[in-house]
Chain A
Amino acid sequence: MTTDTSDLADSGTDDPRASFRIDTLPRGLRTSVQDWAVRVRRGDPGGLPAILGLLVIGVLFSATTPLFLTANNIGNLLSQASFIALIALGLTFVLILGDIDLSAGVTGGVAAGFAAQSLRSGDLHAAVGSGVYVALLLGMLLAAGLALWKKLYVVAGLVLAGVGLLLTGASETHVWLAFALAVCIGIAIGVFNGVLVTSLGIPSFIVTLALFLTWEGVTLDAVKSTSIGTSRYEAWFAMTHRNMSPALGWVSLAVLVGGYAATAFLRQRQRARAGVSFDRLALTSLRVAVLAVGGGLAVWWFNQNRNPNPGPAIKGVPWAASVPIAFMVVFAIVLTRTSWGRHLYSIGGSKEAASRSGIAVNRVRIGAFVICSGMAAVGGLFLADFSGGAQPALGQGNTLLYAVAAAVIGGTSLFGGRGRPRDALLGAIVIAMIPNGIQLHPGLPISVVQEITGLVLLIAASVDAISRRRARSG
C-alpha cells in the first residue's frame, strides 16, 4: 500500500489495471512490516501499547522483586487475569459498536450467584424464596419473548433452555448444567441491555449504569448474604486453581497450531489463485513457526513443576489461560471471517452506512450485547472461583473497570469501529500485573494499586484518542 496516491495519479499509465498492480503482488516479510508501520502511523497501533505496557511493567517488577518472575507467581497472575480477560473479550463486541456495558461485572455476579446457589441448595426455589425465583423465571421468559420479537431465534432458544434448567432442577445437581444456567442468565441480561439500547434509544452508558445497581441487588437475593464456596465442585474449582494435564497441553497446542497452519496456507493459496495479493509461503510459514515455537516454549515451561514447596507437583497449562485463549480464537474467527463480524465493525464505523446497506443494525447490536453479557457470566464464574466463592459483592468494585481498561489498553477503541479479541487478552495481563506486582512489595500501600491502574487506563484512553485523531487527519 502506498501512502501517497498523487504520484500514481500522475504516472501517466493508460491501463487502469496497472494502478492496481499492488493488489496482485505477493507480500513478503518486508511488505508486511511496511504495511504494519503504515497502519501504526495512520492511527491503528494494534497491540503495540499493550506489548509496551507489558514490557515496562514486567521489567519494573522483575527488577524490584525476585518474587515476581517466578513460575508460581506467573501461575497466580494468569488466574487474576482470567476473569478480566473473559469479561473484556465480551466487552470487545460492545466497544466495537461504540457502546459500553457498565453492568458486565455485576452481570457475572448475578449469573455466578444463581449457579452457586442452585448447586449448594439443591433447591433454588426454596433457597431464594418464591419472589426471587418467580421473578427470575418471568424475567427470562420476557427476555426470550423479546429475543423472538427481534428475530434472534438462537438467543431465544438459549434463554428458554435456561428456563428449562430452572424448571427441571437440572442445574441443581450438575455443576456443568449450573454453568449453563449462569450463561443463559447472562444472555437474558444481554437481551434486556440490547433491546433497551436499540428500541428505546437509551444510551448504553445509562442503561447499563442503571442495571448495574439492579444486578447488585439481585446478586444479594441470589446468594443471601453468604459466600458460597466453589472448592466443593471440581469443575468449578479447576477454573482458576487447576491445570491441563501436560499431555492435554501439548495436544491443545497441536490442534491450535495445526488449525492455524491449515487455514493460513489454504487461504493464501486461494488468494494466489484468485489473483489478489497473498502472503508468500515464507511469510505464512514464519507466522506458523512463531506460533508453534512460542506456544511450544510456553507449554513446555508450564509443564515443569512450579510448586515452590515439597508436595504434589503443580504443572500443566492453567485452565485460566487456555479457556480465555479458546474463546479468543473463536471470537477472532467470528469477527474477521464472517459477515456478522463485518457488519458489527461497519456499525461501529458508521451506523448510517450500515443501515443503508440493508444491515439489520439493531439485531446485530442486540447480538453484541448478548455475547457481552454471556461472556460476563463466564467471567463471573471464574471470578467466583478466584475470589473463593460467590458472595454478595461479586463483580462489583473494580471488576468492570479492569475489564474495560484491559480492552482499551489492548487497542480496542472507546469510539467504536476498532478492536480485536487478542487485544483483550494482552490488556488483561497488563492490568492483572499491577495488583499482582504491587502486593509482592510489602512496603507499598495497597492504595497504589488503584492509583496506578487508573493512570494506566488514562494513558490507554489517551493513546486511543490520539490515534483516532491521526486516523481522521491522515
Chain B
Amino acid sequence: MTDPILRVEGLNKSFGAVHVLHDVDFAVYPGEVTALVGDNGAGKSTLVKCIAGINTLDTGQIYWQGEPVTIASPSVASALGIEFVYQDLALADNLDITQNMFLGREIRRGPFLRDAEMETKARESLISLAVRTINSVRQPVASLSGGQRQTVAIARAVLWNGKVVFLDEPTAALGVAQTRQVLNLVRRLADTGIGVVLISHNMNDVMEVADRIDALYLGRVAAEVLKKDTSTSQVVELITSGRSGSLGLSATTAAQSA
C-alpha cells in the first residue's frame, strides 16, 4: 500500500461548548477516491475546513507527504497543493467565471492583471472537463444555475493542479447528466494520481467511484473500509449507528456520543 499524501491525526475541534470532532484520524491516498460519509451534522464539512485552514484545530496534527505541517490559512493549503470545492461553493456573485477561478491567484505583470491569459486558461480548464452548459468564461457568476456554479467551482480546483482535491457534496445540486459528468470527472482526477476526497450522501455515487470509505458518526471516525470489502448496507449502518457487526465504534462509545 502506498503512503498517504495527506494525513490527519487526533484532530479535535469544538465550537464553544459543542465538541464537533473527536480524535479524528483521516488519510488521503494518491490516485484514490476516499469517500467521507456521515449523517447531517456529523462533522464532514468541519473536518474539511480544518484542513483548509479556515477553522483552527484545537488539537491534532496534519501531515503532508509525511511531514508535519501547520495550515494557518487557505493560501497555505493551496501552496501545498490542496484544492477545495466547498459545500456552499463560496463564489463571488459580482465577478465573472474567470475572475472567480483566479480569485486570489490572478496572473499579473507587475501590479496589472493579465485578463486575456486568465480567460484562455479558464476556458481550457472548462473544456478539459467537457463542460457544455457554459458558453462564456466572461459570464457573471450571479447569472449561473446551481449546476453551472458547481461546475465552475470544480473547474477552479482542477485549474490549479492540486495533488489533493476535496469535493464537499459536489453532486447535491446537480441533475442526472451533470452528476454523471462529475462522477466521471472524480474518477478521472484520481486516475491521474490526484488524491480525491468525495463527500456525499448518495450511496450509489459513493459505491460507484470510491476506493475507500471513511464513515463519520457524530464527530468520530466509525470505520475506514475499502470499497471492495464492504457493502452499501454496511456503510449505511456505520453512518446511522456508528457500528456494523464487529466494525465501528464500541457500543459504549456509540451510545455516549449519541
A358 contact set on B, CB distance < 8 A: 73-75, 78, 104-105
B191 adjacent to chain A (CB < 8 Å): no
Please name the residue on chain B nearest to A276 by beta carbon: B119
The reply to whether B143 and A474 form a contact with Cβ atoms under 8 Å apart is yes
Bound CA–CA A115/B172 (angstroms): 60
In the complex with contacts A20-B136, A356-B84, A337-B113 CB distance below 8 A: yes
Classify chain A: how many residues form its interface, as a range.
Answer: 35 or more
In the complex with contacts A350-B93, A471-B142, A359-B104 CB distance below 8 A: yes
The reply to whether A352 and B142 form a contact with Cβ atoms under 8 Å apart is no
A285 adjacent to chain B (CB < 8 Å): no
Bound CA–CA A332/B30 (angstroms): 45
A9 adjacent to chain B (CB < 8 Å): yes
The reply to whether B120 and A275 form a contact with Cβ atoms under 8 Å apart is yes
**Interface SS, B side:** loop
A471 contact set on B, CB distance < 8 A: 93, 142
Interface string of A100-131 (1 = CB under 8 A from B): 00000000000000000000000000000000
Bound CA–CA A342/B102 (angstroms): 10
In the complex with contacts A270-B116, A342-B106, A277-B138 CB distance below 8 A: yes
Most buried by B among A13, A16, A19, A353: A353
The reply to whether A356 and B90 form a contact with Cβ atoms under 8 Å apart is yes
Bound CA–CA A472/B140 (angstroms): 11
The reply to whether A339 and B99 form a contact with Cβ atoms under 8 Å apart is no
Interface residue count on the B side (C-beta < 8 Å): 48
Interface residues of A in 247-280 (CB under 8 A from B): 270-271, 273-277
Please name the residue on chain A nearest to B127 by beta carbon: A16
B244 adjacent to chain A (CB < 8 Å): no
The reply to whether A356 and B54 form a contact with Cβ atoms under 8 Å apart is yes
- The minimal Cβ–Cβ distance linking A468 to chain B, given in whole angstroms, is 10
B15 adjacent to chain A (CB < 8 Å): no
The reply to whether B74 and A357 form a contact with Cβ atoms under 8 Å apart is yes
Please name the residue on chain B nearest to A2 by beta carbon: B135
- 15 residue pairs A–B, Cβ–Cβ below 8 Å: A3-B143, A5-B133, A23-B137, A339-B106, A340-B111, A345-B94, A345-B95, A346-B92, A346-B99, A353-B90, A355-B54, A355-B74, A357-B104, A417-B93, A472-B142
Chain B residues at the A interface, C-beta cutoff of 8 Å: 52, 54, 73-75, 78, 84, 86, 88, 90-95, 99-100, 103-106, 108, 111-113, 115-117, 119-120, 123, 126-127, 130-140, 142-143, 145, 148
